[in-house]
Chain A
């Protein structure tokens, strides 16, 4: 009768099941072949020094939309690659709209590809634990990607290990994950407000805008996107108190200066309680829309249209926003505000971006050589990151660039996996952001648990339930939609307990203890 499309899990499962069954017979054969190939090509490698005699086509899986000028750039890239390693590449793009569904399917169906973009936010741990990626040994890395092996800090490899094994060639880029706030500098000056550099001055700014600027929402958030731990929480709870949340799907954190890594429930702290009062005060003063948890608009577009006066994001994103605004909407003056300037800064772990080898790839050596070139060959790196000089970008010196006439035709996909010290910075990138990030790097705090990764396979039921409770009880509470915050917090804690937060805490703590014991 009605053949309505359902995107729900069952149909997904059925399609997956179908795809699997169709490929099931070939599956074992493939696995076997891969093993054979491994030992064989090992021999080959010895025989003909890396073995680039046979021409190969490497298949890449990237997330993001296919750039308009993909053909132009990659034809150029392939010409050079053929010369250097006798290989060409073909990229398959998984569009942003449904990559989270397609990405695991590519592995489940064991499709034919060699290299996959991955990241801690893009299924890295998950796929590694499920056996989607090939384990990379030191031997393989030092033989096939000598330049990367030399250039990459050892800690980056350590951070990319899951359960002690490496499955990814991480990008080579230090980055601070701290979040900042984008504000409207012109509005701040118009209302004679003090500079925004602390939670209090931010509250003043937001309240003043809410009271005096009709038709402007003071703070914009896209709470409807299903994230359980928001940028403002990250700033006002984690950064402000120098905590670190182990996994953004579970509200468990430890203090940065606590060498023993004792976990606690962030929702069950006086700091959270006072943050709730802070949030409630903002909400009651109309700082954000009453329907913030149903908001379907793109916050940045609303800011550009002058409808929203602040939001929180990564420094890199906000800086790019400021650069874009200076180009497109010069009448709106924007500024970057760090609300926690004096606190310890945490470096992004290397798995923020990276490339992994598909477990059943038969072109492992060449794939590693390819990644090596992408990260360390200046000419190829420029090509894959920025496109063709003069068309997509204008090189400025050796380390800067300006957007070219058709910059928009080569952008928007996960080539960040190839980030390296050879990256150029946008010449229009705001100076204050460069300064800020330089200052952060000087305050970068390193601690033993930095490289710890949570393996939730033993408590996945509880993690799923806790995530649900965070969405259902914590988010509305934080956005001030629950009239009585004490009752709301009590209810949240009760529900978390019922969902099994204690079992997660036990499991996580024992993993942390074991990790720390191992390090000594």
Chain B
């Protein structure tokens, strides 16, 4: 141990290991090419470099496919690249599935209908799918009338957006709405009627407000405080 402290460590000597304090005497596997050395163990262990240069190794073999190659061209993906990068892809899921009704763009976690949950917790399967018997169908006899309030608007039409204001005007003019799919409108006649009623109420409110404003303006014109004519100032016919 004491001798170790006084032993000179020459950092560039072949006797010292290039990898720190590891002994050069012990042979080890070289994974990065063939090391041109001869290592002999025994009484007088030594390392004889057979090559002309220290640590000279065989270079790795040439590879046809490297990162320097244009991999898009190599694998014939240029068409796919131009297809996906040429046009702007829409963000929403509903743009990918335009024919499906209902709300598609909401996150699946809200109603626990994620695909991830199907993978994580696989549904029980393997049973044969058989048509229902008449006794089983008897369980589907329903009471007549509309659904209760709490079940009525589940996965119904999507919430109104600001863009729909323009479409309301289009709708008033008789033009069909662009964003709402015909499937949704036809599937919920009740909601369509309710929307129409809401629009009517909204219009009625606007008209009432306008009338009130007009009345106020008339009062202000005729009041003496605001510079209107007094009864004495009315022109005599």
- Determine if chain A interacts with chain B: no
